[in-house]
Structure 1
Amino acid sequence: MAAEGGAGGAHEENTDSHQGGVGADRAPAAPGGGRADARPGPREAVRQARRIVVKVGSSSLTTRAGGLDADRVDALVDVLAQHGGTRGREIVLVSSGAIAAGLAPLGLERRPRDLARQQAAASVGQGLLVARYTASFARYGRGVGQVLLTSDDTSRRTHYRNAYRTLDQLLTMGAVPVVNENDTVATDEIRFGDNDRLAALVAHLVRADLLVLLSDVDGLYDGDPSTPGTRRIEEVHGPAELDGVRIGSAGRAGVGTGGMVTKVEAARIAAGAGVPVVLTSAARAADALAGRDTGTWFHPTGRRAAGRLLWLAHASTPAGALTLDEGAVRAVVDRRTSLLPAGIAGVEGEFTAGDPVELRDQQGRAVARGLVAFDAKELPRLLGRSTHELARELGPEYEREVVHRDDLVVLGP
């Protein structure tokens, strides 16, 4: 039974039995097997990393015509095979390229803008991409496992656990997980939008010690890299250090969705969740994994959060919104409590139980995001009322939270 809390219609009972499991803090091991008391320097941290997520973009894998470049794929696999599977290292590969690989076989000259043709290209290209990786890793006796994700797969608790277990088991069995967004079924509402962000979230999901983002540029520069006088930014200790830095958007190849903007945002997400990041070019991948001086190093700025809440914050698209009274805002934001009907002043959107919703203050600002436990059509008659009152009138099943604290993440300012 839910206990009625203080101001704002929230309570502080914590029934999250999974917090110590998937997504729990996993600090990098210190030499000798102990936990490191102090964070090592960037290059030493790379050499100590045992579980690494590597993300590669479409432009690093395909020809200008849109087909896969077998030589580029093989070159990347050569590096990953050399630096993964030895010294206890494990590699998870987040690979773009499915849509780009499907362009030429379907007679498309450029990446389509409409979702239906993107999904068709992904359907053709994903098989080609994984087949190419399978053949290339086979040269080293390594198997490949395909893992396709949507944001919906990983913001819900059971789906998140299943995704983690699959990836962890593949690594345990010596296979290389090749992760991509499930473009063939994802809709606008459940798309990550770019694989850079997906890679940051996967790094958190598998409790990686390092994220390596590979681009067609050898790091983050303080201006256009082609302009004389610009310099590579070697280290970033926090987002404030990039204030005033002009960051480019889409790449020149025209086959991907990202650019430096999405990579810096992905680095921010990963670093904020306690995962260090190296951003460099695919041509310098070996240097990055060996801990040599290359690219831009993003220092961790936060601690590892509870599992799927990072996905809820950065990968989910709200299906509606709940407006909270002032007491509920304080309870949810400051005391991190569950949200009860008594603290809700308004409901927007059409959603069903289990959907992500935005929690807003009286000024319309989003203060949190969570998975709602009721359908939108059920909520109007519950607003402003205590759970005890609702249980007496409607039955004991109504004596529960609208958004449980275990399914809620407070958004930053």
Structure 2
Amino acid sequence: MSEVRDAIARAGRLVVKVGSSALTTAGSGLDVARLDALVDAIADRVARGTQIVLVSSGAIGAGLAPLSLGARPKDLATQQAAASVGQLALAHAYAESFGRYSLTVGQVLLTANDVVHRAHYRNAQRTFSRLLALGAVPVVNENDTVATEEIRFGDNDRLAALVAHLIGAEGLVLLSDVDALYDGDPRSGSTRKITEVTSESDLEGLSVGRSSSGLGTGGMMSKVAAARTAAAAGIPVLIAAAEQARSALGDADVGTAFTHASTRMPARRFWLGYAAGSRGRLWLDDGAVTAVVRHRRSLLAAGIIGVDGDFQAGDVVDLVSPEQVVVARGVVAFDVTELPELIGRSSHELPPEQRREVVHADDLVPLRRRR
């Protein structure tokens, strides 16, 4: 067994995410038998001493049949209406199913603001900590009833990665209707199953698509992105099929495992790199990219070649390479209106009051190393 699989099998705290397609059907709504099977596997792991937070999609799918909707709606207002009905059905189904094992369920609905803003982030941490200490199983979903296009997480895979870091999870298990990561469409019959992802090179050239069920917003693409996010932050990740939940939460000898970074990323740096919303972009020259990404140095005005966005000092911005790749994120020390006259100039050329880092190294997180 690989180190990642062993870590997940032994973890004392896990986040488990299940997708809409594994719990619902367009015509019938919630599939109670599938939901019960998932709960059976989770309850078995909880009985062995593991604390589990369940991130569950399916609220919108669960609301389709009661509202006589034949397919997932495309407009936001109808999605919100379906979620409003479906969240009640989903929460009730989980409460009843976990009740078979005398386990209490706590529903936690999140929007992007709850992890983007530091105060909300800490409040969410405290809520999860107390629920777990009281022996409850938190069931998390994006709050689709109030989310707007501007603040949505986009998919619950990313939400699960953020929650995993937020609660200090020792592993993340992403369950869907596909049993592993493949190097192409597994329905074609000529693809290769990838059981271990140990580096970025293992993902090069892969063709992974979005959900084909019409019920979810994710798919393998979002799962790989979420797995990379969590693994980079030091969290072991396993992607498997929902029908393999018992094995995934048992010896973890199924699916695709993602090797994680050797050290856990501090909460502030993780928030800065993956949770906080960006208000603009700073375009860097090659020398600045090397200094920021490879040497972890502060960003100075001399290394900036362009500015874009509407931000103020203290906002989070993306740092972009000449190849238009976002290589880092950081807290900017100047307003957007101040920077045009500073960029490209050495510190000794600037007035004394402006001789400071544009983004200090302590407030900067590299996202991708240059080759």
Query: Are 1:370 and 2:326 matched, yes or no?
Result: no
Alpha-carbon deviation of 1:176?
Answer: 1.0
Query: Are 1:225 and 2:181 matched, yes or no?
Result: no
* Among 123, 126, 138, the residue aligned to 1:177: 138
3-state SS in 1 of match to 2:17? strand
State the partner residue of 1:208: 169
Structure with larger RCO (C-alpha < 8 A, sep 6+): 1
Counterpart Cα distance in 2 of 1:353 and 1:127: 42
3-state SS in 2 of match to 1:165? helix
State the partner residue of 2:254: 294
Counterpart Cα distance in 1 of 2:161 and 2:30: 24
TM-score by length of 2: 0.84
Alpha-carbon deviation of 1:68?
Answer: 1.9
State the partner residue of 1:13: none
CA contact (8 A) 1:272 1:303 kept: no
Task: Report percent identity of matched pairs.
Answer: 58
CA contact (8 A) 1:190 1:316 kept: no
State the partner residue of 1:29: none
3-state SS in 2 of match to 1:105? coil
CA contact (8 A) 2:158 2:226 kept: yes
> Can you give the 5+ residue segments of structure 1 that lack an aligned partner in the other structure?
1-38, 392-397
Query: Are 1:50 and 2:17 matched, yes or no?
Result: no
Query: Are 1:310 and 2:266 matched, yes or no?
Result: no
Query: Are 1:80 and 2:42 matched, yes or no?
Result: yes
Q: Per the alignment, do residues 372 and 107 of structure 1 end up closer, same or farther by CA in structure 2, a change over 3 Å counting?
A: farther
Counterpart Cα distance in 2 of 1:334 and 1:298: 23
Counterpart Cα distance in 2 of 1:350 and 1:153: 22
Alpha-carbon deviation of 1:55?
Answer: 0.5
Query: Are 1:322 and 2:266 matched, yes or no?
Result: no
Query: Are 1:235 and 2:191 matched, yes or no?
Result: no
Alpha-carbon deviation of 1:114?
Answer: 2.5
| CA distances 1:312-349 after superposition (whole Å, capped 9, x unpaired) | 33344422223457776565445534556787665422
CA contact (8 A) 1:66 1:255 kept: no
Counterpart Cα distance in 1 of 2:254 and 2:234: 21
Counterpart Cα distance in 2 of 1:296 and 1:122: 31
CA contact (8 A) 2:181 2:193 kept: yes
Greater mean alpha carbon deviation, residues 122-131 or residues 221-230: 221-230
Number of corresponding residues: 367
Q: Per the alignment, do residues 209 and 361 of structure 1 end up closer, same or farther by CA in structure 2, a change over 3 Å counting?
A: closer
Query: Are 1:111 and 2:72 matched, yes or no?
Result: yes
Query: Are 1:350 and 2:306 matched, yes or no?
Result: no
In structure 1, give the amino acid aligned to 2:329.
R
State the partner residue of 1:28: none
CA contact (8 A) 2:288 2:303 kept: yes
Greater mean alpha carbon deviation, residues 369-378 or residues 299-308: 369-378
Counterpart Cα distance in 1 of 2:286 and 2:190: 52
Alpha-carbon deviation of 1:299?
Answer: 2.4
Greater mean alpha carbon deviation, residues 165-174 or residues 128-137: 128-137
In structure 1, give the amino acid aligned to 2:43.
A
Counterpart Cα distance in 2 of 1:380 and 1:153: 33
Q: Per the alignment, do residues 244 and 381 of structure 1 end up closer, same or farther by CA in structure 2, a change over 3 Å counting?
A: closer
Greater mean alpha carbon deviation, residues 326-335 or residues 55-64: 326-335
State the partner residue of 2:365: 409
State the partner residue of 1:67: 29
Q: Per the alignment, do residues 227 and 400 of structure 1 end up closer, same or farther by CA in structure 2, a change over 3 Å counting?
A: closer
Counterpart Cα distance in 2 of 1:185 and 1:354: 27
CA contact (8 A) 2:114 2:121 kept: yes
Q: Per the alignment, do residues 160 and 340 of structure 1 end up closer, same or farther by CA in structure 2, a change over 3 Å counting?
A: farther
CA contact (8 A) 1:205 1:308 kept: no
In structure 1, give the amino acid aligned to 2:77.
A
Q: Per the alignment, do residues 364 and 175 of structure 1 end up closer, same or farther by CA in structure 2, a change over 3 Å counting?
A: same
Counterpart Cα distance in 1 of 2:89 and 2:115: 25
Alpha-carbon deviation of 1:52?
Answer: 1.0
3-state SS in 1 of match to 2:249? helix
Counterpart Cα distance in 2 of 1:326 and 1:239: 22
Alpha-carbon deviation of 1:246?
Answer: 3.6
Q: Per the alignment, do residues 348 and 294 of structure 1 end up closer, same or farther by CA in structure 2, a change over 3 Å counting?
A: closer
Alpha-carbon deviation of 1:289?
Answer: 0.9
| CA distances 1:57-81 after superposition (whole Å, capped 9, x unpaired) | 0011112326222232222112111
| CA distances 1:110-129 after superposition (whole Å, capped 9, x unpaired) | 21223333233223322322
Counterpart Cα distance in 2 of 1:367 and 1:261: 20
Q: Per the alignment, do residues 325 and 247 of structure 1 end up closer, same or farther by CA in structure 2, a change over 3 Å counting?
A: closer
TM-score by length of 1: 0.76
Counterpart Cα distance in 2 of 1:261 and 1:113: 20
State the partner residue of 2:61: 100
Counterpart Cα distance in 2 of 1:206 and 1:140: 24
Q: Let me know the Cα RMSD of the aligned residues.
A: 3.2
> Can you give the 5+ residue segments of structure 2 that lack an aligned partner in the other structure?
none
Alpha-carbon deviation of 1:207?
Answer: 2.0
3-state SS in 1 of match to 2:180? coil
Counterpart Cα distance in 1 of 2:302 and 2:116: 26
* Among 96, 103, 116, the residue aligned to 1:142: 103
3-state SS in 2 of match to 1:370? strand
Alpha-carbon deviation of 1:400?
Answer: 7.5
